[in-house]
Structure 1
């Protein structure tokens, strides 16, 4: 079936990164409520926004799929874009952190769909990597999403009040951490030796922070404490984040906003959440200052992305932003 602009054929699946970013920010502000005593309603409002955006994007992408399945198939076969099919799966894994306050049954359903979908996608993508020959120019930060995204499996489990899921948490943690090492190495090599990423994809470099930020939170959630390995993940997160923020500091002035920039939102929110978790144990003013700084950076960035996206939709420019 042919597609056209009115059927949202141009809508990229990676736009679900907006749900990830908003949900991660809601969790970060909830942690800030517990540690710093900020008002809880901030986290709740962001969480409601995340749910609303997820519903809207599911409907929009459903229209795209119904009107022209070939467009979805082509996206899934693309060597880079296919990896971003992990974004709706990760959204389903993160939303229970918000949904559990309203409906435990809905939170469990969302997590179950996300866990099954994420595991299946990781299997398919790894099998594809081992079956089809890849080229250096196809290697991109988005490669981290479908497999290292397994680190998101443990995060919402405590909120589900389900017994017997510890092994599932360990499974997600193990797969995510194991594949993070070779993928980070491949991507770093590609960035150092090949041509630079196009400007609209530059913010996706922040995905490289996710293995450390999400890895820290997933490890602490699974083990129940912050040990030396968790501290190492946190310190690596700070170093990689500092490098990448320095690399991207001039991007807003030299490149117009694109919805692909949403790829940067969740790593920033996850970094803020990890920093607040760490500050809760470190109990020193330096850790608190770092946590507040990262929360401010994540909040300002995500609000700016949301304003740009909603403004584009209101002006009928979503296709241009995509």
Structure 2
């Protein structure tokens, strides 16, 4: 296979898996809490698995036939962090197949967790060397350590390893607090983000609410005050992002906006999970509103992605030269 015939898939495309898997998880929780159709959750989860298989295959081939492009991405100060999503997406697929094959789920989880932990250590070690341009500090820094650790905790608990999940939760929780302070300092004191980087702010929503889902998974018996607080902080982040949306949308709707989807689906899932544990307070009112909001956001981003895909295909087809058979050439 020639590199010219292969779609060069960026690692950031794994973000589509996170958004779809997150929405599938929200629908599964909604089925248990409100009796909504189970089929929808299974279909969305299956779609996430298919996207994961496609992106993982193309990304793996990229290292074989377009190695220079893969190495350039890995050396990029911003894009490299998305590589960690390969392991996170694999663990989320593992969560999706637990009810169908526990053995396959464990195998996928181990592969995803080992890759995620290894990449997080490699990338964080590079960051500790310093000499970094503050303009390259964006919420993608959460991906290797924070997102990976929280997902490893949640899926580990679902597989029957809650104690292991608690260790992962700690890595993600304290990593989130540390990176949050660095990131807010950059946002408050450094020059504004370039247009192309602004959609990455959607990731800012994810840590508190993905962490809340993780906490409920690894310690369902714990007092709800911390989970409530993390959801509350997530709602604050969502409101700030809505206030900034006109500024962010100066960058046209593109696959980069999947950065919003994992956080927004976790924002919906966390209060539903609390309902399933018996929470009958404010979560009863927040959960349905946030669930509708998550479906709306993912639908808009997915529709925008499909539109851009067909638009790109149309341009590519129009750019191809059309050869005219000699027999049909006009006579002179």
Partner of 2:304: 308
**What is the CA distance between 1:225 and its match in structure 2?**
2.7
Pick aligned residue for 1:112 from 110, 120, 141:
110
TM-score by length of 1: 0.90
1:278 aligns with 2:274: yes
User: Could you say which residue in structure 1 is the equivalent of 2:245?
Assistant: 248
- Structure 1 residue 114, shift from structure 2 partner: 0.9
Q: SS in structure 2 opposite 1:155?
A: helix
CA distance in 2 between counterparts of 1:184 and 1:225 reads: 27
Q: How does 1:176-255 map to 2 (within 5 A)?
A: 176-227=172-223, 228-248=225-245, 251-252=248-249, 254-255=250-251
> What is the TM-score when the length of structure 2 is the normalising length?
0.87
2 CA distance for matches of 1:118 and 1:311?
Answer: 31
The separation in 1 between residues aligned to 2:89 and 2:211, in whole angstroms, is 17
Match of 1:157 in 2: 156
Q: What RMSD over aligned residues (CA atoms) do the two structures have, in Å?
A: 2.2
Question: Structure 1, residues 106-140: CA drift from partner, whole Å, max 9, x if none?
Answer: 11111111110111011111111112422211110
- Whether the 8 Å CA contact 1:200–1:261 is kept in 2: the answer is no
Partner of residue 66, structure 1: 64
Larger Rg: 2
Q: Confirm or deny: 8 A CA contact 1:19 1:91 kept in the other structure.
A: yes
Count of paired positions: 312
Q: Which ranges of structure 1 fall in alignment gaps of 5 or more residues? A: none
Are 2:156 and 2:164, in contact at CA under 8 Å, matched by a contact in 1?
A: no
5+ residue gaps, structure 2, are: 317-332
The alpha carbon displacement at 1:268 in A equals 0.7
**Larger mean Cα displacement after TM superposition, 55-64 or 45-54:** 55-64
C-alpha separation between the residues in 1 aligned to 2:106 and 2:315? 34
Contact 2:3 2:65 survives alignment (8 Å) = yes
Q: What is aligned with 2:42?
A: 44
